[in-house]
């Protein structure tokens, strides 16, 4: 029987996403004899939970109602009293208030992670959200922001002591994400007939709000208009689901470009799809440290990313990719044109990107850093 300390990870919903992917990677790769883990999802859990390798991870669903659901606080309090974790680790604004029932339940060590901005507060300027964080601040023993941008936000806006902050970047699993070996082969279920001569650009992510895939679609349309000779070769893949998907398809249909695009919704073979791309683009309006950027870099792809949040920490402009203003399809299209017309630059920047991941963003380093934070808290007892 494993009697190691229990860590309870509280997240909003256990589904497809960068935060959730990072959590699964952390649990799967942390030594089994170091800690036990449980996940509490405020909303629900999907088949994404099947990615957990360990069979001893309990998953609890609070099925929280929309809005302020006081019953979910009581439910969590009773659950924590029952399972008695050594550490509670909440993530992002949606879960920070649940530090209160964790404190009331007598959980000795409480950690909060900042992974990225809320869709309603992409720059972290919302005064109400700042005050929520300040009110909860005394209950939190250690903060883990994923980027320098988020770390600065905590110290400058929330007035968190630097001694209570440990910045940990995401790590990427290079056994799953790695460059293409050989020629591209057809993708299962893909409606587009991609040839070896095609230039394929694309992105992966939830299709709503802050992810802003519509700017990428507009940039793709503009690129095809500016270079009609490229139109037959240039293809677009957008993986992910959400309200922007239908809007994106409508835009492509209006411009007679749907035959050049594939928007399959959610897919479980993201790594294989990445290896079919020549260029990865992240059009987000706000980001923490993007898992998908790291996965694209590990795949040996040059990356065009918006100059927001933690993106400049990952994309070295002019060496591993290009930074572009958020919400500006014309500027994005200019950078796409530069890459698609320069095979040598794509190859060189992609190689540099892969090297950066191997040197700075390994999964093993990420797991070691989290374990060190948890270990240091328990040593205080």
State both tokens at 100.
């209160």
For tokens 């606080």, name the residue. 73
> Do 81 and 26 sit in the same domain of this protein?
yes
> Do 18 and 166 sit in the same domain of this protein?
yes
Asked if residue 221 belongs to a domain, the reply is yes
pLDDT 10s digits, 67-100: 889 999 999 999 999 999 999 999 999 999 999 9
> Do 34 and 44 sit in the same domain of this protein?
yes
Is residue 270 within 8 A of residue 239, CB to CB? The reply is yes
User: Which pLDDT score is estimated for 194?
Assistant: 67
> Do 135 and 215 sit in the same domain of this protein?
no
Give the span between the Cα atoms of 37 and 102, in whole angstroms.
16
Give the span between the Cα atoms of 370 and 34, in whole angstroms.
12
> Do 249 and 341 sit in the same domain of this protein?
yes
When pLDDT is averaged across residues 160-167 and rounded to a whole number, the result is 97
Tell me how many degrees the CA angle 330-335-337 measures, rounded to the nearest 5.
90
Q: Which of 108, 167, 98 lies closest to 132, judged by CA?
A: 98
Asked if residue 185 belongs to a domain, the reply is no
User: Which pLDDT score is estimated for 170?
Assistant: 86
Which residues, 6+ apart, have CB-to-CB distance to 5 below 8 Å? 35, 36, 85, 86, 87, 374, 378
Asked if residue 296 belongs to a domain, the reply is yes
pLDDT 10s digits, 226-267: 988 888 899 999 999 999 999 999 999 999 999 999 999 999
When pLDDT is averaged across residues 149-161 and rounded to a whole number, the result is 95
pTM: 0.79
> Do 368 and 263 sit in the same domain of this protein?
no
Which residues, 6+ apart, have CB-to-CB distance to 111 below 8 Å? 87, 88, 89, 90, 140, 141, 142, 143, 144, 373, 374, 377
- How many beta carbons lie within 10 A of that of residue 362, not counting itself? 16
Give the span between the Cα atoms of 250 and 266, in whole angstroms.
18
> Do 322 and 210 sit in the same domain of this protein?
yes
Q: DSSP strand E in the chain: where?
A: 6-11, 36-41, 58-61, 87-91, 109-114, 142-145, 199-204, 234-239, 261-265, 279-282, 303-306, 321-324
Q: CATH number for the domain including 119?
A: 3.40.50.2000
Asked if residue 178 belongs to a domain, the reply is no
With 80 as the cut, is the pLDDT of residue 181 above it? Answer: yes
> Do 366 and 344 sit in the same domain of this protein?
no
When pLDDT is averaged across residues 263-288 and rounded to a whole number, the result is 93
Which residues, 6+ apart, have CB-to-CB distance to 347 below 8 Å? none
Which residues, 6+ apart, have CB-to-CB distance to 29 below 8 Å? 363, 364, 367
Asked if residue 180 belongs to a domain, the reply is no
User: Which pLDDT score is estimated for 21?
Assistant: 86
Q: For the chain, how many structural domains are there in total? A: 2
Asked if residue 126 belongs to a domain, the reply is yes
274: containing domain: 199-360
> Do 153 and 280 sit in the same domain of this protein?
no
- How many beta carbons lie within 10 A of that of residue 105, not counting itself? 18
Q: How would residue 1 be classed by pLDDT, with cut points 50, 70 and 90? A: low
Q: How would residue 191 be classed by pLDDT, with cut points 50, 70 and 90? A: low
> What is the end-to-end Cα distance of the chain in Å, rounded?
23
The percentage of residues in the chain with a pLDDT greater than 90, rounded to a whole number, is 75
The CA distances from residue 200 to 31, 197, 225, 322, 361, in Å, are 39, 9, 17, 17, 26
Asked if residue 190 belongs to a domain, the reply is no
Query: Which is it for strands 303-306 and 321-324: parallel, antiparallel or unpaired?
Result: parallel
| Residue 123 vs residue 203, higher pLDDT | 203
Q: How would residue 119 be classed by pLDDT, with cut points 50, 70 and 90? A: low
With 70 as the cut, is the pLDDT of residue 225 above it? Answer: yes
Give the span between the Cα atoms of 247 and 28, in whole angstroms.
37
> Do 47 and 115 sit in the same domain of this protein?
yes
Q: How would residue 281 be classed by pLDDT, with cut points 50, 70 and 90? A: very high
Asked if residue 188 belongs to a domain, the reply is no
Virtual CA dihedral for 334, 338, 340, 345, nearest 10 degrees? -150
Give the span between the Cα atoms of 171 and 8, in whole angstroms.
21
> Do 156 and 277 sit in the same domain of this protein?
no
User: Which pLDDT score is estimated for 193?
Assistant: 62
Is residue 319 within 8 A of residue 178, CB to CB? The reply is no
> Do 231 and 291 sit in the same domain of this protein?
yes
Element (H, E) at 357: helix 343-360
């Amino acid at each position: 029987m494993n009697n190691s300390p229990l860590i309870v990870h509280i997240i909003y919903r256990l589904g497809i996403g960068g935060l959730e992917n990072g959590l699964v990677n952390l649990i799967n790769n942390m030594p089994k004899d170091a800690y036990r883990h449980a996940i509490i999802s405020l909303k629900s859990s999907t088949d994404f939970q099947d990615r957990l390798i360990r069979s001893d991870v309990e998953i609890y669903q609070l099925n929280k109602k929309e809005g302020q659901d006081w019953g979910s606080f009581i439910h969590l309090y009773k659950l924590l009293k029952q399972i008695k974790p050594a550490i509670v680790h909440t993530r992002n604004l949606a879960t920070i208030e649940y530090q209160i029932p964790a404190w009331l339940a007598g959980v000795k060590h409480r950690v909060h992670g900042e992974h990225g901005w809320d869709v309603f507060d992409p720059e972290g300027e919302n005064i109400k959200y700042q005050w929520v964080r300040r009110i909860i601040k005394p209950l939190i023993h250690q903060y883990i922001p994923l980027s320098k941008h988020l770390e600065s936000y905590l110290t400058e806006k929330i007035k968190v002591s630097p001694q209570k902050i440990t910045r940990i970047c995401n790590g990427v699993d290079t056994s799953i994400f790695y460059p293409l070996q050989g020629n591209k082969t057809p993708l299962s279920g893909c409606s587009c007939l991609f040839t070896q001569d095609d230039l394929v650009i694309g992105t992966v992510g939830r299709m709503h709000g802050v992810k802003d895939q519509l700017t990428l679609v507009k940039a793709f349309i503009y690129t095809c208009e500016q270079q009609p000779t490229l139109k037959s070769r240039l293809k677009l893949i957008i993986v992910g689901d959400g309200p922007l998907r239908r809007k994106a398809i409508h835009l492509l249909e209006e411009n007679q470009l749907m035959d050049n695009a594939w928007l399959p919704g959610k897919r479980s073979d993201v790594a294989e799809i990445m290896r079919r791309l020549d260029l990865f683009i992240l059009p987000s309006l706000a980001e923490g440290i993007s898992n998908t950027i790291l996965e694209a870099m590990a795949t040996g792809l040059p990356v065009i990313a918006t100059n927001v949040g933690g993106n400049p920490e990952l994309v070295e402009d002019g060496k591993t990719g290009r930074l572009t203003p958020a919400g500006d399809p014309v500027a994005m299209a200019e950078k796409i044109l530069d890459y698609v017309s320069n095979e040598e630059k794509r190859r060189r920047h992609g190689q540099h990107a892969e090297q950066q991941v191997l040197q700075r963003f390994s999964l093993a380093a990420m797991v070691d850093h989290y374990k060190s934070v948890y270990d240091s808290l328990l040593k205080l007892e």
